[in-house]
Each structure stands twice: as structure tokens, then as C-alpha cells.
Chains A and B, each alone.
Chain A
């Protein structure tokens, strides 16, 4: 439950070793690089040209571009939590798998280009066929233009033209029109005109919008042309189908290409990090950050090379990256903290104390044993059997733990999928709910299965518990502040800024228990706040004003506290919707149709309620941490420590690095950061 101590690492090595050192450090996953000093431009130079990065990223883009294509053709169903393939990158490069995978990428690329070409060609042929089809009835070959005395031509007129109009236009002209066909867009005709009347006929027809047919002048009939085009089209289709089959064959190598994409991405990461190195004629300088606990491993690696290196304490003003160190339970809540902000270096890491309150408030807000168990089974089950990645695993574990809390509070407040036990008893089994003895601790007006009480019947008591939890949360927040102040040696500030308010709160609380004690404590509290809050102001008027301002802070504390009534509101919301689902589910009683209806409505309804409420509860529990809890003490603003590491989206490097131990369980590598 703290922020790990970090060290600034500076390494000077020979130029020849630079790549190898970077490679080995990446494998350690324990160092993040910083831009090496560039203040002295005359002697220091960039180690690697920027062009290397764009070249590496082009390779990555090429490999990653074909993955979706191959995945689409792959017969294997893609699993949601696909396991990472265990590999050794060195072996992958040397034993030919690297080259084979690249060949697959290149061939897939070629196929994709060819497919695009073929599709273009097919579109051409199809549009040609569309243009020919209306003239299908033409029986003359297309190079036929007439006899000695006649002219013959074909073309189209605008659609919807009545035949009489054509005849009218051609009266007094020695020409005859043969109708080939009509469709929505045109009337297609063949015209035979006397040679001398050709121009007149064309003029008359042009007046109607006549256009010559877009047909080639070949010694073929339209039917032959169409048949030819159809053959072309078939050939293209066949070629496309062949390419598709080839893609399906290639997709069997999908896994290899995925591994290749990791290898290429790792190379890109290495290139990006090389940009941060500076060099002289002979040497290269590398600076970065590492957790103090990792010193021995890094030392082992660096000792293999001819290097000079040092681990230095961070200086004032350094932007030290943050690595949180927590136990397994709290570790699962680190991402909730990360969604807000990481703490500054050297300040308090609130993850552990936040995780406890997160657990409690989540459970109280969504108190239902049925939903809680569902959440636990789903989350812990997914972690157990689907082997998700670290970040997904933490996400699931967090909700799984919250499920435990929901279950506990659900049993206390008698909620099992809303009021399902009661609804089932009454509507399906036919036992009146009033027959149940009241087992809860508080007197109840109606039947319930709670150990404490039913929040719907007794919302005020639940509001009390919500606000009580809120008070605890706020006091814990102030306690952390007091602890931080004491650690900085400001005991006086802790006493005056925190303890005085606690006396005041205790006094207000005691008013409800014992009037005299309450009044005395309140007066002492008010007096101490008035006397101490102006202590940093100058002059008597400033000190008095400061004291009253300190008292005014009570409003802030009160509004923080009232914010916790959302626990009651969201809790009631979940149970009321649950009740409605139960009423609908048990509507038809104990008949066959009734049970069937119950199963369907129960599953769908409660699943919906579960999803809605997980979202709401997650958002509002987080908010109570971020706004109400953190503003009491939190100093945020650190950047998370992201050590440079090989890409592991699809594969995992199983060759051990220095200081790593392979655990028996599923052969996973564990790095001990402690």
C-alpha cells in the first residue's frame, strides 16, 4: 500500500552494445526510458535516425493489416479471451517461422491487391453487359450497316415514348422502325432507312432524343457479345473464388501472423526507445527510471556488457513515474484509482483504504445476495477458466470482490433477486407471506426475509446506515490527511485542522445520545475550530475571520455527508425494479405455462436489472471515492510507470529473463516487484 521507491538509472555503454542492452532491458520489463540529455548538441547526437521508426511502423501496419482479413477467413472461432501463444522470439526468428509468416503476409497482401483489380474488372464487364442487354433481340451482326440502298442503325429513345410518336415523326420519310424492346429508361429501336433519307430520318429521331447504341462494330450478334461477356465474368468469379480459397488456406497460419505482429511491434517499441538515446563517437547514453527493487536484476544484465551505470535517488522536480505496490485484494482496485489519477511521487497511496470502502459501499448500494452471487460466479469463473490478461483479470476480480460484498449485505437486508423468495412463496406455492414469522432484528410491518430489516419497509433506517457509512468514509479520509501531516512532521496542523473537527463531529453525534456530553463536546469543538482556523492569518481581524471561515467549512462536510444518501436511492432503485420483475415472473402461478413464463421473465428481467445497476453502482461508488473521499487528502498528478516491454498482444515470451521465476501454475512468468 505504497508508492514504490524509484531510482534514476543512467547507463553509458559502447555503441556496439547499445542494441543488445536495450533488448535485454526490454525483456526485464523493469525500466522506462527518458529522453537522454540533449543540452550539449555539439558532442551528443541522436543514436538512431527517425526514419527507422517509420520503417518499423510501416512493417507493423502491414502485418496488422492482414490479420483481420485472415481472421475473417479462419475456420477457428475467435475466442474472447484468446490465450497468448508461448514463444521464444529468438527461436521464432531463426527457425524459419519468421520468414514463413512474412511470406503469408506478403501473399495475403498480393491477393488483396489482385482481388481489388478483379472486382474492378468485373464491374467493367457487368456495366458493359448492362449496356448490351436491351439490344438482345438484334439479330444482325453488329458490323452490318445496311445494303446497297438502305442504311441500318440501332439506338435508344427516352423511356415512356409512345410508338405513335415515332411513326408520326417518320411520316414522309422512307424509313421503317423495328421495336427491339423497352424498359423503364428507354425505348430501343432498329431503323432501316433509304440511303438518301438517312439524314432526314436521323434528324427526325434526334428531335425525339435518339441516341446511337453504345455497341462495338464487330462481326458478332449482341447475343454472342453477351455470351462472351458472361464468360469473362464467370472467369473473374472463378478467379475470385480461387483467391478466397487460397485465403482460407492462408488463414490457417493466422496464429503465426499474429505472433509475427508481436515481433514486429516489439521491434517498433525498440526503435521508439532508441530515439531516446544519445551518442558520442564511441559511446551511447541511456537514462530512465526503475523501481529500487529491480536494481539487482538490472545490475546483472548491465554487468554482462562493458558499461558504466548508476542508480540515483530522484531529485527535487523530477517527474518520477509511479508504480503502486499493493496486496492482491487492493491491487485489483488500482485501476479504479488509475481512472482518476495516480498519486504524486512520495505521497500516500490510498488504494488499500479506498479498496476497503469501495468494497463496503458497493455492497451497501447494491445489497442483493442473488445479484452478488451472480457477479461472483461470473467474474471469478471468467478469471478461473478463461485466463484473461492481467488488466482484464484485475477488472474482473474487482467486480468479483464487490459481488462478495453485495452478497453479504444482501443477506443482511433480505434481498435475493429483489423479493423473489416472498413472491415465489406467495404466488407460486400459495403460502401467504404473512404466515412468515418476523425474523429480522427490527420490528417489521410486513413479511420479509431480512436479518437486519427490509430497506423498502424501513427506508429511514437504511438512510441512517448509508449516512453512517458516509461519516466513516469521510472521517477515514480526514484520518489519512492527519496521518500524512504527521508524517511530514506537521503534528500541530493535524491537531488543529483535523482533530478539532472530529471533536465537533463527535459532539453533534453525541447530541442524539446524551445531551449534556453532546453540548459540552460541541461547544469545545466550535471553540477550538474558531480559535485555531485563523492561525495562519495576520492580525486580529484576519484571525477572527479565519476562525469563522473554518466553522463555515462545516457546510462542506454536511454536503459531503448528504451525498451518501445516493446509497439509499440506488439501493431502493435496484430492489424496486427487482420486485417488478418478480411480480411479472410469478404472474401465472404454479401452472406449466406459469413456470415457463417465470423462467424467461426471471432470467431476462434480472439480467437487465443486474447490468443497469452494476453500471450505476460502479459509477456512483467511484464518484464517492473521487469527490468526497479524495478531496480530503489526495495529492494526485503522478504518471504511471510503464516499463518498456516486448509486445504481448498475441504471444508471450517464455524464455526467462534475469531474476524471473517460472511458477508451476500455467507456466506464467511472475516478476517480483517487491
Chain B
């Protein structure tokens, strides 16, 4: 067995998928939550009583990271790393890698885009605190696509034949 075959086992390629789901979606969420957090801190210097509303908006772009985590966990379950490991062919490993890509990529991108909407939402509640519902809804609309992506990723993993 040469070096290349030792590294690129089906198992490892599947793990690469799980890792990408956690990493990319997580990086996106981290950036997003940080962006909203900065804006929220600015708002709170003016009016600390809005912290509850600001916190909800800040938490919104955090969900993509959770979706990435869930996908990764499902892959780890499915390939038996927490119980008896399943022997995977290279093509099966690539299947898991592919299955992880929707949430990895859409999660990264949508978290940042959602954060931009949430930052605008922070500016909105600075002036009109009663309109927090609209600010949250506007940000939640962006999340729809992360939800579609994680749904496909999860279904692909759940229906994988191993």
C-alpha cells in the first residue's frame, strides 16, 4: 500500500467532509456573530436596556455553525467512529464529502450575509425598538437557504448506503 492510498482512505475522506462542514460553517458563523456583536456593543453603549433584543439578533447567524456541527456528527455516527467503525471504500468516502458540501459552503456564505442583515437590524432597533420583530424576520429570511442546505446534507448522510 503506497502513501497515497494510506492517506486517502474512504474513512478519512468522509472525515474531511465532516471537518469542512464544521469548519466552513463555523468560520462563517463566527464572523457573522462577531459582526453583529460589534454593532450591538455600539448600540448598548447608548442604551443597555436593549441587550435582550440585540442578543437575539446576534445569535441568529450562529445557527449555521450548529448546522455544520450536526452534519459532522451525523457523518461521524454513520461511519461508526463512536461505535464499531465501518469499512468505507474511497467512493463512499467521497459521497460523504459531497454530502457535507452544501452546508459547508452555503453555511459559510449565508452566515455572513445574514449577519449583514442583522447588523442593519441592530441599527433599526436603535431607532425603533418596537420593530425588533421585523428585524428578526428579515434576518431569518436569509437563514432559509442555510436550512435548505443542511436539510439536503442531512438527508444525503442519513440515506447513505454503508
A residues adjacent to B (C-beta < 8 A):
338-340, 456, 459, 563, 565-566, 568-570, 572-573, 576-577, 579-580, 583, 612, 615-616, 619-620, 622-623, 626-627
Contact A627 B137 (CB under 8 A): yes
Complex CA distance for A568 and B66, rounded to whole angstroms: 15
Contact A569 B150 (CB under 8 A): yes
Q: Which residues does chain A contribute within 8 Å of B143, judged by CB atoms?
A: 619-620
Proximity bits, B124-162, A CB within 8 Å = 1, else 0:
000000001110110011011001101100110010000
Complex CA distance for A568 and B77, rounded to whole angstroms: 19
Contact B82 A565 (CB under 8 A): no
Main secondary structure of the interface of A (DSSP, over half): helix
Q: Which residues does chain B contribute within 8 Å of A566, judged by CB atoms?
A: 144, 147, 151
Contact A576 B137 (CB under 8 A): no
Given contacts A566-B144, A577-B66, A612-B66, contact A619 B154 (CB under 8 A): no
Complex CA distance for A622 and B69, rounded to whole angstroms: 25
Complex CA distance for A615 and B77, rounded to whole angstroms: 26
Closest to A625 in B: B137
Question: Which listed residue, A340, A565, A576, A580, touches B133 by the CB 8 Å rule?
Answer: A340
B108 on interface, CB distance cutoff 8 Å: no
Question: Which listed residue, B56, B74, B132, touches A576 by the CB 8 Å rule?
Answer: B74
Contact B140 A573 (CB under 8 A): no
Given contacts A569-B154, A572-B70, A573-B66, contact A627 B134 (CB under 8 A): no
Given A577-B70, A577-B73, A620-B140, 4 additional A-B pairs, CB 8 A: A576-B73, A615-B59, A619-B136, A623-B140
| A-B contacts, CB under 8 A, total | 69
B9 on interface, CB distance cutoff 8 Å: no
Complex CA distance for A620 and B158, rounded to whole angstroms: 23
Given contacts A566-B144, A569-B150, A577-B66, contact A459 B137 (CB under 8 A): no
Closest to A340 in B: B133
B60 on interface, CB distance cutoff 8 Å: yes
Q: Which residues does chain B contribute within 8 Å of A620, judged by CB atoms?
A: 140, 143, 147
Contact A623 B66 (CB under 8 A): no
Question: Which listed residue, A565, A570, A612, touches B148 by the CB 8 Å rule?
Answer: A565
B96 on interface, CB distance cutoff 8 Å: no
Closest to A570 in B: B147
Leading 8 A-B pairs by shortest Cβ distance:
A339-B133, A569-B151, A566-B147, A623-B140, A576-B70, A569-B147, A619-B140, A573-B70
Closest Cβ of chain B: how far from A380's Cβ, in Å? 21
B120 on interface, CB distance cutoff 8 Å: no
B109 on interface, CB distance cutoff 8 Å: no
Complex CA distance for A119 and B75, rounded to whole angstroms: 63
Complex CA distance for A583 and B66, rounded to whole angstroms: 18
Complex CA distance for A580 and B75, rounded to whole angstroms: 12
Closest Cβ of chain A: how far from B45's Cβ, in Å? 17
Question: Which listed residue, A340, A568, A579, A615, touches B134 by the CB 8 Å rule?
Answer: A340
Closest Cβ of chain B: how far from A430's Cβ, in Å? 15
Question: Which listed residue, B70, B137, B151, touches A622 by the CB 8 Å rule?
Answer: B137
Contact A340 B137 (CB under 8 A): yes
Q: Which residues does chain B contribute within 8 Å of A570, judged by CB atoms?
A: 147
Q: Which residues does chain B contribute within 8 Å of A619, judged by CB atoms?
A: 56, 60, 136, 140, 143
Contact B70 A626 (CB under 8 A): no
Q: Which residues does chain B contribute within 8 Å of A622, judged by CB atoms?
A: 133, 136-137, 140
Q: Which residues does chain A contribute within 8 Å of B63, judged by CB atoms?
A: 612, 616
Closest to B153 in A: A569
Given contacts A569-B151, A573-B150, contact A563 B144 (CB under 8 A): yes
Closest to A335 in B: B133
Q: Which residues does chain A contribute within 8 Å of B154, judged by CB atoms?
A: 459, 569, 572, 576
Complex CA distance for A620 and B147, rounded to whole angstroms: 10
Give 20 CB contacts A-B under 8 Å: A339-B132, A340-B133, A340-B137, A565-B147, A565-B148, A569-B147, A569-B150, A572-B70, A572-B154, A573-B66, A573-B70, A576-B74, A577-B70, A579-B73, A580-B73, A619-B60, A619-B143, A622-B137, A623-B141, A627-B137
B62-85 residues with Cβ-Cβ distance < 8 A to A are 63, 66-67, 69-70, 73-74, 77, 82
Question: Which listed residue, B67, B82, B137, touches A623 by the CB 8 Å rule?
Answer: B137
Contact B133 A568 (CB under 8 A): no
Complex CA distance for A459 and B158, rounded to whole angstroms: 8
Closest to B60 in A: A619
Closest Cβ of chain A: how far from B37's Cβ, in Å? 16
Q: Which residues does chain B contribute within 8 Å of A612, judged by CB atoms?
A: 63, 66
Q: Which residues does chain B contribute within 8 Å of A459, judged by CB atoms?
A: 154-155, 158
Complex CA distance for A534 and B77, rounded to whole angstroms: 55
Complex CA distance for A340 and B134, rounded to whole angstroms: 6
Closest Cβ of chain A: how far from B33's Cβ, in Å? 13
Closest Cβ of chain B: how far from A99's Cβ, in Å? 31
Q: Which residues does chain A contribute within 8 Å of B69, judged by CB atoms?
A: 577
Closest to A583 in B: B82
Closest to B146 in A: A569
Closest Cβ of chain A: how far from B92's Cβ, in Å? 19
Closest Cβ of chain B: how far from A577's Cβ, in Å? 6
